[in-house]
Structures are given as C-alpha cells and as structure tokens.
Structure 1
C-alpha cells in the first residue's frame, strides 16, 4: 500500500512541477508513426515467403501510417496524414472505409467527436471517451528528450475497433438475432486487448494518440494488439496558431449505431453477391 501511495505522490509531484512550467494557453503538435503486423491466419500458412512479402508490400499503406495530434490543455485533434498507394499512385479508398477518421477529444467534458466516411457517406460519431483504468508500472525509459513512465490496461477489443468491420462479428450478431442454440448455451468470451503506454509528465496533458488518454502526461508510445504507435516529433507552442476544433459534417450517430450501420451495409453486399451467383 505504501509503495502505491509513493508512486502516486511521485507522479503527482512531477505533474504539478511540469504543469506550473507551462503557460495557460500553451499548444502542442505531436507526430506519430504507426506500424501493424500482418495477420494472414490459416490462409497465410499456405503462402510462400515471396507471396507473403508481396501482400505485405501491397498493404503497406494500411500497415504503416503517420498521424498528427494537435492539443492544448483540454482538447486534442488526431488525424492521419494521407499517403498515396505505393502501387497504384492513388489513395487507399477501400481501406478508408474501415479506418478511424479525424478524432476530437475533450478530456474535461469526456467527449469524443469523430468523423467517419463509409462508402461515400459521411458520419459524425459523438460518444464518450473510451473508459481506461490505467495501472501504473515501475519502469521508465527515454523517448527522445522526454523521460517516460509505463502504464498498462486491458479493454474489450471491440471498443478499440468500433469503426472497423469483421465477418466474425457479423456472424455472431446474426446468431444472436436468430436465437441460435450455440449463443444461448455457449456465449463466446469477450476478446480483450492488452495495452501498454509510455507517457511523459514533462508535457502535463492527459492526451494521447487514437483512443488513448487519461494519464498524467502526454502518451508518446502505445502498444495494443498487433499495432504500435510511437511519437517521432513534438513541437511545443508552434509559431502558427493551431485550430483545435471538432469536426461538424456528417450524419449524427454513436459508436454502437455506426457499427450497426456498417454491419447492415456489409450484410446487404454479401446477400446481393449471393443472389447474383445463384442466377
């Protein structure tokens, strides 16, 4: 118990010391590089190494991304830097349907506003921030010029990927709708994702990349599932004033409603494809 209180006091002192060193209206810009491991499952086991390498190159734009986080004390906007596809020279329009859009977080109001585009239709998702119960670790390390401390948590995987789509999730939804005996007697376990974050109290804000927030300092590195995000550059109080505003365009919805819309559209596409094949 004493060690836990000591850790909390230690982080609090660092936070307060750093907080007093910043002007009330400070702003910051952080650049992140994200890299995901390719998972091909049982199908991938039948491929040669050359084929796997070719697929990895083709999917590079989805596996490696860069983002910018603009922030002040209470608000932040996180958005992807758009890149051209290495093969076609065009943007990845298919992958964009299942990627996170521009995300605004207000930690004071516990509010998320995220723009999403799905098959040409714009949506504005308004919801609460992801609930994260962080556990402080004892380790520390240097990321660039910043001393960072470790924190971990566990969340349901579906809460991290609500903007994405899975045929498995659709099958489970349909089983529940049909009252399948399997779902009645053998409910599937909730899939969880372990999250490891490194934050620096030297920048005393509760922001972080993507869904992540709520630590006593800016999150500079996050590992979750098969993805790692690492901050590569930070600019404090840039000369050009940053506009930190929530997106406004799109059909208003929530996370759960958006998931239902995506599943409905994908189910419709599957059924239409099946009808065409049966003709």
Structure 2
C-alpha cells in the first residue's frame, strides 16, 4: 500500500513539474501572396489586376521566417536574430516586436509604421473568436479552427490552435484562444503564417522580456487603431497601397 501511495505521489510531482515547463520556441514561415493583396485594392481596375497577375505569375510569393518565444506567463514574437536579409526585401525589416503579458493582460507592440516607431503599450484587447468544428495537423499538433474579423483592416482572420499547448499566444498580434495558434490565415490566403517547428525548451529572460530601453512614441490601442484607420482611408482615396507603410 505504501509503495502504491509513493508511486502516486511521484507521478503527481512529475506531472506538476511538466506542467510548469510549458515553454519553448516556435519557428514560423510567413508567406505573402502579392497578387492577392493587390487584388483587394478597390481603386485598381480589373484590367490592371489581370496584368499584375500575369506579370507576377511565377514570382507571387515572398517567404519570411518569424520566431515566437513563450512560457505560461508571456510571449515575444518577431524577426529571428542575426537574420540575413533577403535581397530586395530589406525594407520590410523595420521594428516589429510583439510582446504579450498573459498574467497581467498587457500588450507591448514595438512597430515601425508611417515613418515612425510606435510603442503600443496598453491592456490586452482580445479578438472575439468563434471556434469552428474543424481540425487539422500543424507542425505535429492537432489543431482546432477559430475565426474572427479585423474590422479596422476589413480582414477575415482564421486561426488554427493546439489545445495541448495550453498557452493563449500566437503569431503576429493575435492571441486569446485556449491553446497556442500554430497557423494564422489572413483573408483566405493573402498572408499565411504557419509553424514549422515547435521546440519545447527553457526560455531565457533575454529572449522573452521587454528591453528596459525602448525608442519610440508610446500610444494606447485606441490611438493606434485610429492612426491605421485614417491612413488606410486616406491612402485608398489617393490611390496608394496603404500597406507599404504599415503591416498588413
């Protein structure tokens, strides 16, 4: 009887240790489809869109590696360190660092856009997700589908999350599901960010914590959304692509 009790105690102790080590690194591949993005610009004629598709027929995709570090309390998402720039696309390597503090429900996003670096420092505003009755495998994990909408950018957002990675994080600026988002699809394939590798390992403070010194203009979520909304409206009115100066 004593041996059975000891076994149960050891099992519970090991399970508790395992639960405390829900941390690691996820490598994502972010794929842009340029003709899809441009086809949504309302000021372009059908003839211009068709010509663009023919011109970019064999060079439509751009791939970008992204990295997410996470534990149960927080996460950091951004470009890999020491990345070699992909010739011709170095302009996309502006500041883009997304920090999430799940424990205190805070966001800190360091984003270069509209010619400036902004620090969106505010409470964490979560999307209104709708979990769907669909599943698929991503990076070796069985994932469930959830959908929401970005009303500022008029985008349909589809996420695939793994409930056996019980951290409410994900790529880009998306979180708030009962499991890590391993794939994020914006507007039915305009941009798809997919986990290629999930590596469970200890995460250091340097990898996941917000730097003590950050250069940029601090703004709240409401002001950030107002800036985006105004820029998109003015750009479309002037027949300019708004996403040359801000993240899609």
CA RMSD of aligned residues (A): 3.4
Alignment of structure 1 residues 66-81 onto 2, 5 Å: 66-81=65-80
Alpha-carbon distance in 2 for matches of 1:75, 1:119: 28
Alpha-carbon distance in 2 for matches of 1:254, 1:215: 23
Any unmatched runs of 5+ in structure 1?
Answer: 1-18, 162-190, 268-279
The residue that corresponds to 2:196 in the other structure is: 232
Higher strand share: 2
Q: Secondary structure at the match of 1:45?
A: helix
Out of 33, 38, 55, the residue aligned to residue 37 of structure 1 is: 33
Moved over 4 A (4+): 118-121, 238-242, 258-264
**Could you tell me the TM-score, scaled by structure 2's length?**
0.68
Contact kept? 2:69, 2:77, Cα under 8 Å: yes
Out of 137, 151, 156, the residue aligned to residue 150 of structure 2 is: 156
Alpha-carbon distance in 1 for matches of 2:114, 2:75: 27
Alpha-carbon distance in 2 for matches of 1:256, 1:24: 35
**Deviation readout 1:38-89 (Å, 9 max, x if unpaired):** 23343533626553348x46xx6xx4222100001020000023552434xx
**Deviation readout 1:200-258 (Å, 9 max, x if unpaired):** 12211111111211112111111121221110001101487763112441222224434
Higher helix share: 1
In the alignment of these two chains, the number of paired residues is 206
Any unmatched runs of 5+ in structure 2?
Answer: 1-14, 235-248
Contact kept? 2:164, 2:179, Cα under 8 Å: yes
Alpha-carbon distance in 1 for matches of 2:113, 2:128: 31
Alpha-carbon distance in 2 for matches of 1:239, 1:117: 26
Shift of 1:111: 1.1
The residue that corresponds to 2:18 in the other structure is: 22
Alpha-carbon distance in 2 for matches of 1:124, 1:110: 16
The residue that corresponds to 2:223 in the other structure is: 257
